[in-house]
A and B are shown apart, each in its own frame.
Chain A
Amino acid sequence: MNEEQWIKDAQAGDLDAFNRLVISYQGLAYNVAYRLLGDDASAQDATQDAFISAYRNLRSYKGGSFKAWLLRIVTNGSYDELRRQKRRPQLPLEPEPLDGEDAPDPAWMADPGESPAELAERVELNAAIQRCLNQLEDEFRTAVVLIDVQGMDYSEAAEIVKRPLGTVKSRLARARSRMQECLQGFAELLPDKFRLTGEGKP
């Protein structure tokens, strides 16, 4: 993959080159948007808008991590969408499931090698994680999504959110602490090795 060349070509107006970048990053961008927004439709919109915005503003990219530059657009777009949702909360047309989660749609998580029971466990676990993420403040959620869910390092996350490293560390620690508290409520869903003791809450 010659990312630098694709970026140069895209900056010169080559849409095919930009679409190669889209293919490389669409999974990451969509997953970050999904974890920040908590629903598929909003995440798709935010991802598409982010790529359109990235293409239009590609000339403002002056080097450095393209991934960080792109994910900053994704996170900012997701924040805008969250603010919009807070201003104009929408009621779903269909009643929500009793547990408050999205209607189960495990097809996307299906792994050919696992049993239905394992799949069901993973679906429930994923729902529990997303529910706890949704309860975090936006900036805490971003820290935990970028570093723990997406496996980025602190400096990358700091570049994306444009905050000092110390701020990211602090946000991540608080976010983990709150996730710990929240996930204890789903203890029965957690595999044994992940069961939380509940000790040492600050």
Chain B
Amino acid sequence: MKAAITLRDYELLSAHLDGQLAPAETQALLARLDAEPQLAAALASLTKVRALLRRAPQRRVPRSFMLTPQQAGQRSGLGAWSGFNFASAIAALTLIFVLVTDFSVNGLPTPLTARAPEAVMMMAEAPQAESYDAGEAAGNGPANPVETLALENTAADETRMAEEPSLKEAPLTLTGWVAYNAPVLEALLASLAVIAGLLAWHHRRR
């Protein structure tokens, strides 16, 4: 007879109680139970514990746990709200950026169409002047009406720059770069705002 019951014995007894032992294991255990009263007592004890636990009363449900539409839709509502907030934030930042850019470059917000010719002329200034010089030196004059217009605008710009030296000597700064690329940047940011809006709409639909 064994002096103490091991954990392994307890596992066997517990599985035997629930009919979880293989037939051969059951036979072996039954033989031991006949020979080891302590093991048999342990089985009796475990049987009582199991019976007691199975008698443990079930609590009555204190309330209904059915979901309300709000509980069910909480996540999608929150997602849409978050998406909406995110899109709004992007749109607002875009607007602020465009306004700040306008103010810092032009002093006041001006329509894109009003500034575009200036930007185009700033971009085209140097090469056109060279071509004009070269053409004039060769005695050829302006090649077409566009060139004529460009030459006239260049002349006007030179006059303006002579009156405002700060324009002529302005170094290439971030502000200058932004002003130079303003139309592209504005189009890019506007597209971003539209995409953000579409995303918000998509989230809401979901």
Contacts and interface: CB of A to CB of B under 8 A. Distances in A.
Nearest to B49: A180
A197 B48 CA distance: 10
Contact of B42 (A48, A147, A179, A199): A199
B138 interface: no
B138 to A, nearest CB: 76
The residue in B9, B11, B41 that gathers the most chain A C-beta atoms within 10 A of its C-beta is B11
B103 interface: no
B20 A202 contact: no
Contacts of A109: 57, 59
Contacts of B50: 148, 176
The residue in A44, A109, A148, A151 that gathers the most chain B C-beta atoms within 10 A of its C-beta is A148
B59 A34 contact: yes
Nearest to B12: A173
Contacts of A179: 49, 53
B7 A202 contact: yes
Contacts of B74: 52
B122 interface: no
Secondary structure at chain B's binding surface: helix, strand, loop or mixed?
A: helix
Interface stretch (B62-70, B88-96, B106-114, B168-176): B62-70
Given A52-B74, A154-B20, A126 B56 contact: yes
B75 to A, nearest CB: 5
B42 to A, nearest CB: 3
A55 B11 contact: no
Interface in A114-171: 122, 125-126, 129, 144, 147-149, 151, 153-154, 169-170
B41 A199 contact: yes
Nearest to A57: B75
B146 interface: no
B166 interface: no
B45 A180 contact: yes
A154 B7 CA distance: 19
B62 A40 contact: yes
Interface string B43-63: 011101111111111111111
Interface in A6-34: 15, 18-19, 22-23, 26-27, 29-31, 34
The residue in A147, A149, A176 that gathers the most chain B C-beta atoms within 10 A of its C-beta is A176
B140 interface: no
A147 B44 contact: no
Contact of B67 (A19, A151, A190): A19
A200 B57 contact: no
A15 B69 contact: yes
Contacts of A144: 53
Interface string A166-202: 0001101110110110010000001001111111111
A129 B10 contact: no
A44 B62 contact: yes
Contacts of B48: 193-196
B49 A200 contact: no
Contacts of A173: 7, 10-11, 13-15
Contacts of B63: 44
A17 B104 CA distance: 60
B39 interface: yes
Given A15-B72, A44-B63, A202 B53 contact: no
A193 to B, nearest CB: 8
Contacts of B20: 154, 169
A22 B65 contact: yes
Nearest to B14: A173
Which 8 pairs from chain A and chain B are nearest by CB? A200-B42, A173-B14, A148-B53, A199-B41, A173-B11, A19-B66, A26-B65, A200-B5
